Structure 1
Amino acid sequence: MFATMLSALRSGPWAAFGLYLTASALLASNPVLGRAAAHVVPPIGLAFWRWLLAFLMILPLAIPGLLIHRHRLLAEWRRFLLLGFLGQGISGAIVYYGLERTSATNASLIYATSPVMVLVIAAVWLGDRIRPRQVAGILLAMAGVLVILTRGDVEVLRHLSFNLGDLLVLIGAVSWSVFTILLRQTRNPLPVVTSFAANALAGVLVLAPFYLWESVTVRSVPFTLPTALSLLGVALFASVLAFLAYQKAIARMGVAQASTALYVSPLWAALASWLLLGEGLEMFHLLGVLLVLPGVTLATLPSRSTAAKP
C-alpha cells in the first residue's frame, strides 16, 4: 500500500504540481543570485562562468547528441554564435549589469514580460496575427512594466529619468525574446539537451573575449570560496536545474500549462529577495504584479480551440 502511495505521488497530479512549483522557483533564482553576486563578481565574468559551468554540468547528458549532430552543429556555427550572443551574452551579462543598479524584484517582473515581447516582435517581424484578447494582455503587461520603470511616479515620465538598471534588464528581456523567436524558426529542432549544451557553449565562446577585456581593464573575478559558491549556484540552480525541471514539467503537463511557471517566478523572486537580500516590497511592486502577471497570462495562454488540439 505504501509503495502504491509513493508511486501515485511520483506520477500523479501532485508530482506535476511539485515540478511546476520547483521549475518556477528555479527560474526565479537567476535575478536573486545575480543580485546577490552583483557587487562581488563583475557582470561579464558572472555570465561567462555561469554558462561555462552549466555546459560542463550538462555535458555528460549531452555528449551523445552532440556527437550525433556534430556535422549540423559545425555547419550552423554562425547561427549558434548569434544565439549565444543574444541568449547568453546580452540576456546574461547585460542583465547582470542591470542587477548592479536595480532590485531582483524589479528585474524578475520586467523579465516576466518576455513572452509578451515575443508576441509583439513576431507580429512586427514575421507578420504573426495577434487576437484582441492578446492585445489587451499586451497593454496590461506593458502598463505593468511602465509602473515598475517609473516606480509608480508619474513625474518620471515628464522628465524621462528612468533607472538605468531597469532599462538594461528590459534590453536583456527583448534580446531573450528575439533569441526565442530564432529558436522557434528552427525547421528541425535539435534534442533539447543537445540544444541547451550547444547554446551554452556558443555563449561561452561569445563571452570569452569580453571576459578577457573585463578582467584586464576593469576587474577580475575574485576566486574566493564565496565567489565560487555564487558561480556554482547560478550555474546549477538558475541554469541546469531550472532547465531540467522546466522540461520535466512540460513533459508532465504540456507546454501551455508548464509555460505559466514563467508568470509565477516573479512572486518567488520577490519573496526570496525580501527574505535573503532584505529588499523591501513597495506599492508599485504590487501594482506591477497586478498588471504584469494577468497581462502576460491573457496574452499568451492558448485559446480553447488551440488547447483542444492533440
Structure 2
Amino acid sequence: MVIVAVFYFAIPFTLMIAGEMYISSGLASIIFANMPIAVMITSTLFLGLRLSPHQFAGLFISVASLYLILSNELSIGGNNLLIGSGALALAVIIHAIMYVMVQKHCKDIQVITYNAIPSFIASLLLFITSFAFENITVQAFSSSSLIAVAYLGVFASVGGIVAYFKLGQLSTPFAASICFLIFPLVALSLSALTSGTVISDQSLMLLFPLLSGILLAKLPRNKLSLNLFKMRYKSA
C-alpha cells in the first residue's frame, strides 16, 4: 500500500500537475495517450508478454508519431516545453510500471480498497512535503482555485481512477485502454474552447497515425490473425 501510495499516486500526480504548468492540457493528453504503449512495454519486460508483428508495427508507428509531435511542439515552445514534456513522460513511465505491478499483485483486492488507502497515505505525504518546502499563504486562496482542487479530487482523481480500474475488472485490458485514445480528442477540444490554446496543424495531423498505432499495438495477438483468416475464407 505504501509503495502504491508513493509511486502510483504521490510522485506521478505531482509530476503531472507540475508538467502542465509548462505545457498545454492538449499536449499533455497526447503524451498520456501513450500509456497503453508504456504498459505494453513494461508488461513485456516484467510479465514476459510476447508481441506479434502487428503489435511491433503499431508500437513503432505510435512512438515515431509521438516523437514527431514533440519535436514539432518543442521547436515552437522552447525549454519550458521540454521540462513539461519530460515531467509528463516520467509520470507515464512510473504509472505504467506500477500499473503492471498492481495487475500482478493486487488482482484480488477490491478496487476502492487499493485506491482509497494509498490515496490517503499519499495525501498525508504530500501535505507534509508541502508544509516543509512550500510557502503557503491561506489568504491567497481564491474560490476558483478551491473549486478546481475539489473537482480534481472528486472527479479527476477519485472518480476517474476508480472508474478506470473498475472498467479493467469488468472488461478486457484492451477494451479498458481504449479510453486513453479519447483523452487527446477531449482535452484538445476543451483546451481550444476554454483557453484558446491549440497545438500546430502538423501535430494535429500526426494524431491520426499516433492513435492508429496505439490501437494496432493493443490489438490482441490472435485477433488480427483471426480476422485475416475470415477475410481469406470469405474471398475463397
- Length-normalised TM-score, structure 2: 0.82
Match of 2:191? 273
Q: Report the RMSD for the aligned CA atoms in angstroms.
A: 2.9
Whole-angstrom CA distance in 2 between matches of 1:254 and 1:184 = 12
Match of 1:229? 147
Gaps of 5+ in 1: 1-79
Residue 283 in 1 paired to residue 204 in 2?
no
Whole-angstrom CA distance in 2 between matches of 1:251 and 1:121 = 20
- Length-normalised TM-score, structure 1: 0.64
Residue 179 in 1 paired to residue 65 in 2?
no
Partner amino acid, structure 2, of 1:282? S
Q: How many residues align?
A: 223
Gaps of 5+ in 2: 227-236
Match of 1:140? 61
Q: Which stretch has the larger CA shift, 185-194 or 246-255? A: 246-255
Match of 1:64? none
Say if 1:305 and 1:133 are closer, same or farther in 2 by CA, change over 3 A.
closer
Shift, 1:114, TM fit = 1.1
Aligned residues of 2:62 and 2:210 also touching (Cα < 8 A): yes
Identity of counterpart residues, as a percentage? 22
Say if 1:223 and 1:187 are closer, same or farther in 2 by CA, change over 3 A.
closer
Partner amino acid, structure 2, of 1:281? I
The one-character-per-residue Cα deviations of 1:127-183 (angstroms, maximum 9, x if unpaired) are 332221211111111112212221267x89xxx997211111111111110110110
Match of 2:20? 99
Aligned residues of 2:15 and 2:87 also touching (Cα < 8 A): yes
Aligned residues of 1:144 and 1:287 also touching (Cα < 8 A): no
Residue 193 in 1 paired to residue 93 in 2?
no
Partner amino acid, structure 2, of 1:280? V
The 3-state SS of whatever aligns with 2:19 is helix
The 3-state SS of whatever aligns with 1:185 is helix
Whole-angstrom CA distance in 1 between matches of 2:80 and 2:120 = 37
Say if 1:225 and 1:82 are closer, same or farther in 2 by CA, change over 3 A.
same
The one-character-per-residue Cα deviations of 1:17-56 (angstroms, maximum 9, x if unpaired) are xxxxxxxxxxxxxxxxxxxxxxxxxxxxxxxxxxxxxxxx
Aligned residues of 2:174 and 2:220 also touching (Cα < 8 A): yes
Partner amino acid, structure 2, of 1:98? G
Partner amino acid, structure 2, of 1:284? Q
Aligned with 2:121 (options 202, 205, 214): 202
The 3-state SS of whatever aligns with 2:134 is helix
Aligned with 2:30 (options 109, 112, 119): 109
Say if 1:213 and 1:225 are closer, same or farther in 2 by CA, change over 3 A.
same
